[in-house]
Amino acid sequence: QKEVEQNSGPLSVPEGAIASLNCTYSDRGSQSFFWYRQYSGKSPELIMSIYSNGDKEDGRFTAQLNKASQYVSLLIRDSQPSDSATYLCAKGEAAGNKLTFGGGTRVLVKP
Amino acid sequence: GAVVSQHPSRVICKSGTSVKIECRSLDFQATTMFWYRQFPKQSLMLMATSNEGSKATYEQGVEKDKFLINHASLTLSTLTVTSAHPEDSSFYICSARGGRTTETQYFGPGTRLLVL
């Protein structure tokens, strides 16, 4: 079992709709989680971090964390074609301060 | 967010030569920098973690003598690919940790290496 799992997609979403991305992790002790967006040929850029159970909102993005069920999700409201990218879920590792990434979910927002 | 730069953005070299890639944190002091490699259509693969003033910690399977990492200051880390071969062609990305939110990693724009 991979440490961080994501559906590779592509997740096709009509413009204006909500895109829902899920990520599960295997280490119950994980405390910090991150969502990054990566456009084709570019490096990842941070969308948001989340540390506590519940929802965290930033603009059109909402991250949700459920430690009991070991999943973290990302909602993108009012999806735009410019949101078309690969979204990477990552969890922080206390030892070595590393991030462990999932394989990413490719999102396609169609006009 | 914090700004991390990388230089060069793209490099083409002949097989057998060495290539140095620089990673700088521009507006914060990076206690730790990370080097990743990404092949087409694959996810990021962590190569090594470097802390300022100490030796880098390499991930399993990464040759430390081939990928030399130096982290001489809190704002600069370098990755040297020694005796590069075509299979080393990849997208190399650094990230830096530090600043206001110490757990978060901020990525540089990446360096695309092509070894002929």
pLDDT at B65 over 90: yes
CB contacts of B104 in chain A (<8 Å) are 34, 46, 49
- Binary contact (B104, A104; C-beta < 8 A): no
| pLDDT confidence of residue A10 | 96
pLDDT at B102 over 90: no
Contact by Cβ (8 Å): B76, B61: no
* Nearest CB to B107; choose among A44, A96, A102: A44
Distance from CA of B82 to the nearest CA of A (A): 23
Give mean pLDDT, residues A74-96.
92
Backbone angle region of B16, left / alpha / beta, with phi > 0 → left and psi within -120 to 50 → alpha? left
Short-list B49, B47, B57, CA closest to B98: B49
Write the pLDDT tens digit of every residue in B15-42: 999 999 999 999 888 888 999 999 988 8
| A95 confidence band (pLDDT: 50, 70, 90) | low
